[in-house]
A = this chain, B = another copy of it.
């Protein structure tokens, strides 16, 4: 089966925050939980999503929007899980805002979904500046990137609700101090939930999946 590819248009709305609030209100009315997933290129967004989908797809009806500047490699990987998937091409844009996310949701179709993942463009800077209208945001930081990233890219760690520290399996091969990393994250965002995982091996994934499962239940109970 071919991947559905949607070429996203640049937004014309000046007030992104208003668009984002309206989106969240609509999602609440519909009982749909949208999660914005952000990270550097190659931190493991897609692998983490595949494992999260496998753990939750019996519980919730899931949809995925894969945003990339080009290619459909991630959407193909996600499609193998059997959930509804769409590839968003940003036409060179380095992030998604609320209006671009809305175009994606329209393309995906919101009938019959409880939980939608937005895999944002791999970029630790720009996506943090734009509220996508998602209910919550998660940032993935992988061990090979280094424990100092919250010092250099403050906004990403300030705006996210959860930080997943991924690729814990390769910790022995890198100069990465987990305690220092968590302290750096907490300095930027004391309220952030921090979970160490290895999406590949499954380490730590239960805590993360439980967090998300609880979130979706709570959101749907309010709607």
B126 in contact with A125 (CB, 8 Å): yes
B170 in contact with A42 (CB, 8 Å): no
Whether A94 contacts B40 in the complex (CB less than 8 A), given A152-B68, A152-B69, comes out as no
Whether A122 contacts B124 in the complex (CB less than 8 A), given A71-B151, A151-B73, A152-B73, comes out as yes
Which residues of chain B are within 8 angstroms of A68 by Cβ–Cβ distance? 152
A152 in contact with B71 (CB, 8 Å): yes
CB distance from A37 to the nearest CB of B (A): 15
Which residues of chain B are within 8 angstroms of A146 by Cβ–Cβ distance? 41-42
Whole-angstrom CA separation of A149 from B69 in the bound complex:
11
B154 in contact with A69 (CB, 8 Å): yes
Whole-angstrom CA separation of A125 from B124 in the bound complex:
10
Whole-angstrom CA separation of A71 from B155 in the bound complex:
13
Partner of A123, one of B70, B74, B125: B125
Q: A153 an interface residue at 8 Å Cβ cutoff?
A: yes
Number of copies: 2
Which residues of chain B are within 8 angstroms of A121 by Cβ–Cβ distance? 125
List 13 A-B residue pairs with CB atoms under 8 Å apart, sorted by A's residue number.
Answer: A40-B145, A41-B146, A42-B144, A42-B149, A69-B152, A69-B154, A73-B152, A92-B129, A94-B123, A122-B153, A123-B126, A126-B126, A142-B144
Question: Residues of A at under 8 Å CB distance from B?
Answer: 40-42, 68-71, 73-74, 92, 94, 121-126, 129, 142, 144-146, 148-149, 151-155, 167, 169-170, 173-174
Which residues of chain B are within 8 angstroms of A145 by Cβ–Cβ distance? 40-42, 144
B125 in contact with A94 (CB, 8 Å): yes
Beyond A40-B40, A42-B146, A169-B173, 18 additional contacts (C-beta under 8 Å) are A41-B149, A42-B144, A42-B149, A68-B152, A69-B125, A69-B152, A70-B151, A71-B148, A74-B152, A92-B129, A92-B155, A94-B125, A122-B124, A122-B125, A122-B152, A125-B126, A170-B173, A173-B173
Partner of A41, one of B92, B124, B126, B173: B124
Chain B, Cβ-Cβ closest to A147:
B42
B70 in contact with A152 (CB, 8 Å): yes
Whether A69 contacts B122 in the complex (CB less than 8 A), given A41-B40, A42-B146, comes out as no
